[in-house]
Structure formats: structure tokens, C-alpha cells
Structure 1
Amino acid sequence: MPGQNEREAILPGVKRAHELPCGIWAPGRKLAQFCLTLKNIPGALAAVTKEVARHHVNILSGHITAVPGEERAYVTFFADLTEATAGPRELAEALKALDMVVEAEVLEAEVPGLIIDKVHFPLKFLGQDSVVLNIRMIGHMFSRLDEVFGTGASVILYEMGMRAGEVVARGVKAYGLDDLNTLKAIAALGVAAGWGVVEVVEWDPSSTRLVIRVYENFECKPIAGRRQRPHSHFVRGIIAGILKAITGAEVKVRETACMAKGDPYCEFVAEKASS
């Protein structure tokens, strides 16, 4: 696999990997998770981090949820208290005493050196309930379809992808975007969701012709260089579903390059289907 510098060179616009703040594995360290409700005003987060630093506690990762116009914001973070001058509960009380903090709760690691967020559920992605499946798991799932159904697996995956693409596109179009900006937004969502880095190479709305490249395509990444033919049937279906939802037209999608057969990216050409 390419290193970070190589990845930045081959993936358009990518800065670095995005590690979801779901847990920390640090053997020999004293770990805890803090969950805070804050006033949604400037300086609230600064007050929290200043108090944490005062006790020599190192914040490792976390997330912030704050909606403009709402009175409350929410912060949760994992922290290393190995060299701290206060225990986790003492620090929680100190944070709770801050004027900016409405509520403060701490959860300590149940397994030494390992803490996992088990108090935030369901997982949300842009307001939608979501799940996380790692690439290795997906690779085994799709490979099992091939083993059981043979060439029929490509049809199953394509149809699944088409329905998923329609759902995604309708959700994005609900924001009132035109066709081109809908495609751009979906491409950005693909990066944010970890599906791949999408580059729109060509879009001709008059003929409904679309050419896109997907770098690090999640469907083909587990089998990169191990197939003789293009293998991204699910993503091919997603593209067909997206275009159907955007334009109302039935399209035919061909995969002209594929990571599964050793290409640096998966490239798809979509054109209006012959009537």
C-alpha cells in the first residue's frame, strides 16, 4: 500500500486519512472519555481545553457537535491521564464548575489500555443513521457472493448499487441543487463516507454522458490487482442509480479501468441507454 506522501500525490485533494474517534488503544496508559454539554458560544471550547491542560491531561481525539442558533453544543473526547495531576472524576468536577459547561460526565477504561466509545448511538452521517464496515469485511462479503452465485453476483451487486444510488441522489437533490452541483456534492460525500476519492472527468448533460474516476474504490481495494476483468459492479450500479434520479434517464455504465485488474483507479463511462 502507498505511504502517506504517495497517497497525497495520487489522490486528488486528499490531505490525510480520517480516523473516526471511536476508541483508543494505548497499552500502559491511563485513558478516559469525557462527555460535555457546553453553552454554544465563542470561547466555550477554549475554556475546556485550558482547564484540561492545567491538569496536565492530554486530549487524544474526539468530536464536536454544534449547530448555529442552538443554545447547547456537545463535545466528547478521549484523554490520556497518565501524567495528570488530577484523577478522571476530579477533572470532570473541575470542568463542571466552569461557567461555560452545562454538564460533564467521565467514563473510565474498562479494559486496561483500551477505551471504546459505547455511549453514543446511533452513528449519524449528515443526520442519517449509519453503520461502519471495514474494507476487509466488505471484501470478504463480496467475495462470498462471487463464490456462491458466480456471474450472478455481478447482477445482484449492480441492482443493489442502483437502488442505493437513487436514494443518495434524491437525498442530495432535496437541497435544491442543479444536476452538476448534485454530482459534485455526491462526489464529496463519497470521500467523506470512505467510499473512495471521486474525480468527475467529464459531464455532458445534453447527452447524459458522465466519465468519473474513483481512486481507492472500496469495492475493489480488497482485491486490487487480483482479477482479470473489471470488478466494480456495485459502484457501477450506484452511478446508474444516481444518473437515473438526477436526469430521469436510463443509462448504461461501463467500467473502462479497474483497480481489481491492476489499474491505478476505477474509471466509469455512463451514457444514455439505447431505446
Structure 2
Amino acid sequence: MKEELGEKWEGRDVALWHRGKTLAWLKILTFDRIGVVHRISDVLVSHDVNQRFGYFTAFDKNGKYVSLVELPPNVDVVELVNELKKVDDVLDVEYEVREGFCFQNNEFPLYILGERAVIFRAEMISELFGMISASFPQAEGFMNLCGMKSGVRVAQIVEGMIEVEPSKRLKLLEEIVPFVGWGRCEVVFESNGSEGKDRESFSLAIITHDSFLTSSIESHHPVCVYLGGFYTGYVSYVLGRRVYARETMCMAKGDPYC
């Protein structure tokens, strides 16, 4: 099977190949307490189980530890799981066994910001948006509107997760955009003083490096219409006023950033 896959798969983090190894996904629900991951690892090490990938997520007072492991031939996965369930602060353990090959580097289903998510190649998204632009009138307006709706939804989720002043919620874009793989961005927000009783004058620039919409694209005009719509929706919701984002520079037309 390795020969069928080809050498290009070796060393890539999207695929894990281990000849003659039994792989298992472990999803371990815990209390969010100091030392629980260490105690879980101690059990795995005591059985010569090799962890290939793992992460811990905390929510409320509980946590979740997800790990992809290699099981030695002499280890019974059911017995291992039962022992893990006895670890202090472990609530439950779910598992799934794979034989020799695994594409995933995350659990299924995938959740981002608390909602179900799927993964697409950046080139495919660019091609899809290009086909929409070439096939439908007012396509840019449609893609911009889709981005706006997404931006508003993300802003609502963030608002429910953390209570901070609007300027800091805008800065959170610097964490959100790379988190979902859209690029790296810098938010430059400057207040220009009072504009009226309830409104404030400000200037805002969002500098985006390596936008996923410019992947393998060359153009004479900016192409990040969806991302501009996302910024429009997010910023408008956070500030409570209608704001429009306009892309003045774009990597697709040779600029250093968008």
C-alpha cells in the first residue's frame, strides 16, 4: 500500500503512515484539573503506547484530551481504555482503531468556534469563486454578502465567548483569521475622537498576509471579495454601526499583502 500512495506522502502532517502498526484515536473526557494530562500520559507510557498527535481542550469545568496513538502488538485496546477510565479526573474514554494508515490529524466531526466545520483546499475555494464570478451577474455582490453573513455570525459567537470592549474584539481577528487558515492579519484601529453623542469617528485598516483567496491566483484587480465581506460583517456587528470594507491592495495583483 505504501508503494501505491507514493513517496510524496512521507513526512506530511496530513497523513500518518506506520507500516505494521495499529493506530487508535482516543477521546478522553476529563475534569479540567492540573495534572490530568500527565496522568493519562503515564498510563500510555506504562504500556509502551506511542502518542503521534494530541491536544487538550478545556470548556467550562471539564476538558477533552484527543490523541492518536500507536498500539504495540501486545496491548489490548479495551484493557487500555478501561485502565484510562480509572485515572483520577477522567470521566469517560471513547476510541476508534485504525490499521496502519490514517489521514486525520483531528477528531471527527471537526468543530471550529463551537460549530461544525469542514476543510477545503484553498485552491479549490479560489477556483469555485472564480467560476461563480465568470458564470453569474453580480457575483461579487453575492460573495461579499456571503462573507458578511459569516462575519456577523463569528462576531456573535465571539461576543458570547468573551466580554471585552469592541476595540479588543476587533483585535481578536488577528487570532481568528490564522486559526481558520485564511491568512495572517494585523488590525490597526485608531479612534479619532467624538463624532457625535453616541458615535465615534475612527480609522481602521486590516492588513492580511497570505490570504487563502490569492492562492495560485494572478489578477489585475483585488480578488478577496469574500474576505472583505467577512471583515465588513464582523466589524459592523462589533461596533454596532454599518461599516464597509474596501480592498485597496491584493497579493493576487502583485501587492505585498491584502
| CA offsets 1:9-65 (integer angstroms, 9 cap, x no match) | xxxxxxxxxx7xxx7521413211123233443222211101211222111113323
What SS is found at the alignment partner of 1:36? strand
Match in the other structure for 1:271: none
What SS is found at the alignment partner of 2:100? coil
| Correspondence 1:209-220 to 2 at 5 A | 209-220=203-214
Aligned length in residues: 237
TM-score normalised by the chain length of structure 1:
0.73
Cα separation, 2, equivalents of 1:248 and 1:100: 43
Matched, 1:64 2:56: yes
Amino acid at match of 2:155: A
Match in the other structure for 1:25: 16
Match in the other structure for 2:202: 208
Cα separation, 1, equivalents of 2:56 and 2:234: 31
Matched, 1:169 2:155: yes
Shift of 1:156: 1.4
Amino acid at match of 1:188: E
Amino acid at match of 2:139: A
Cα separation, 1, equivalents of 2:141 and 2:74: 60
Match in the other structure for 1:51: 43
Q: Cα gap change, 1:42/1:178 in structure 2, threshold over 3 Å: closer, same or farther?
A: closer
Cα separation, 2, equivalents of 1:106 and 1:166: 36
User: Does the 8 Å contact 2:53/2:105 carry over to 1?
Assistant: no
Indicate the percent of aligned positions where both proteins have the same amino acid. Answer: 26
Shift of 1:210: 1.2
Match in the other structure for 2:195: none
Cα separation, 1, equivalents of 2:107 and 2:165: 39
User: Does the 8 Å contact 2:232/2:243 carry over to 1?
Assistant: yes
Cα separation, 1, equivalents of 2:180 and 2:44: 31
| CA offsets 1:65-114 (integer angstroms, 9 cap, x no match) | 3335x3x5332211122x565243343233234444443343211x5322
Cα separation, 1, equivalents of 2:45 and 2:108: 25
Match in the other structure for 1:79: 69
Match in the other structure for 2:168: 181
Q: Cα gap change, 1:242/1:41 in structure 2, threshold over 3 Å: closer, same or farther?
A: closer
Matched, 1:221 2:211: no
User: Does the 8 Å contact 1:187/1:198 carry over to 2?
Assistant: yes
Q: Cα gap change, 1:27/1:146 in structure 2, threshold over 3 Å: closer, same or farther?
A: farther
TM-score normalised by the chain length of structure 2:
0.77
Shift of 1:251: 3.7
User: Does the 8 Å contact 1:38/1:74 carry over to 2?
Assistant: yes
Match in the other structure for 1:112: 100
Shift of 1:259: 1.2
Shift of 1:248: 4.2
User: Does the 8 Å contact 2:151/2:231 carry over to 1?
Assistant: yes
Shift of 1:216: 1.5
User: Does the 8 Å contact 1:213/1:265 carry over to 2?
Assistant: yes
Cα separation, 2, equivalents of 1:107 and 1:176: 38
For the aligned residues, what is the CA RMSD? 2.9
Matched, 1:103 2:97: no
Cα separation, 2, equivalents of 1:102 and 1:202: 44
Cα separation, 1, equivalents of 2:25 and 2:238: 43
Cα separation, 2, equivalents of 1:186 and 1:199: 8
